[in-house]
Amino acid sequence: MNHNIKKCIEHEIFSPPSFAVLLLTWILPATVLEAILGDLMEEFDERSKANNKSARTWFWQQATHTSMIYFKKIFNSPSFIRKLNIVIPLVLFSTAFTLIAWLSYADNLAEYAPGFWQTLLTGQAHMALFDGAFWSSIGDYLGQVDSVWFLFDGPSLIITFFSISLLLYLDRKSTFTALQMASWGYALVILPYIWAIIHINSNHFIATQIGPIMAIGLITFLYMVLPVSFLVHRKLKQVESNAKYKDEKIN
């Protein structure tokens, strides 16, 4: 065997798992990465002299455990959650808009999976997201959008007004935490859509009656997701400001 190839194989075998090292590099802050990785590599070298296989298993366990500790710290930080609270609602808003536009302009469901029409008649508009025909034709439907009037729905506006008013009232009454605001707010976002599905499946509606009910669920979702995101965002900023103020006061 070529000496260089043999050397590379031995280096790969007696080195810690490369993906485990990469995982640590991705998750750990730069301020602690070098020290933690150095300690793990040193311990790995000692263990690999006795049993390389168990040393690699040990390294994976330590890398996973350490990464989870720091991932939880990142995930629980107000700044990370605040960013997540911006990105996810924007994705949900875009998805709801796309579904509403598709329902408003779609005129041929023959190319969709068998039974799709029956699924749609149960109010489960979100199932379109799992059909390839939806994504292949959505550009055509969005191209037909020439006004925003199809987004106007009186009942959805009323539900949105009362839901946001309820959130603000409860916040003033008991001073919501960011988690409580998010829990209540996003529950109220999804509730009309769940109600629409249950209502459709609990009654015998003809096809022309199902559309308006689905519209209430989806359009209310569209109306509410960004305002709720803003309210949660404001709460999270308050948490950050309070934490910063406490740190400055201590120092």
Per-residue confidence (pLDDT) for residue 251, from 0 to 100: 61
- For range 49-62, the mean pLDDT: 88
pLDDT tens-digit readout, 71-110: 877 776 777 788 889 999 999 999 999 999 988 887 777 7
One domain, residues 95 and 217: yes
- For range 125-143, the mean pLDDT: 86
Helices 30-50 & 52-76 angle (0-180, nearest 10)? 160
Lowest mean pLDDT among 10-19, 97-106, 112-121, 183-192: 10-19
One domain, residues 244 and 172: yes
Per-residue confidence (pLDDT) for residue 138, from 0 to 100: 85
Per-residue confidence (pLDDT) for residue 1, from 0 to 100: 44
One domain, residues 68 and 163: no
The pLDDT-based confidence of 236 (bands split at 50, 70, 90) is confident
Per-residue confidence (pLDDT) for residue 3, from 0 to 100: 45
The pLDDT-based confidence of 9 (bands split at 50, 70, 90) is very low
Domain final residue, candidates 29, 60, 76: 76
One domain, residues 191 and 227: yes
Place of tokens 């960011």: 178
- For range 123-146, the mean pLDDT: 87
One domain, residues 83 and 25: no
Q: Is the pLDDT of residue 222 over 70?
A: yes
Domain final residue, candidates 76, 93, 122: 76
Per-residue confidence (pLDDT) for residue 188, from 0 to 100: 96
CA distances from 240 to 14, 49, 184, 213, 245 (A): 45, 48, 21, 40, 9
One domain, residues 69 and 90: no
Q: Is the pLDDT of residue 120 over 80?
A: yes
pLDDT tens-digit readout, 157-196: 999 999 999 999 999 988 888 888 999 999 999 999 999 9
One domain, residues 19 and 103: no
CA distances from 99 to 42, 127, 139, 167, 222 (A): 54, 10, 12, 26, 10
One domain, residues 242 and 126: yes
Predicted structure pTM score: 0.71
One domain, residues 45 and 137: no
Per-residue confidence (pLDDT) for residue 184, from 0 to 100: 94
Per-residue confidence (pLDDT) for residue 160, from 0 to 100: 97
Tokens for 23? 């995982």
The pLDDT-based confidence of 247 (bands split at 50, 70, 90) is low
One domain, residues 178 and 242: yes
One domain, residues 127 and 238: yes
One domain, residues 155 and 242: yes
The pLDDT-based confidence of 12 (bands split at 50, 70, 90) is very low
- Phi/psi class of residue 211: alpha, beta or left (left: φ > 0; alpha: ψ in -120 to 50)? alpha
Residue range of the domain that includes 116: 78-250
Domain final residue, candidates 76, 97, 116: 76
Please tell me the total count of domains within the chain. Answer: 2
Per-residue confidence (pLDDT) for residue 8, from 0 to 100: 41
Over pLDDT 70: what percentage of the chain? 91
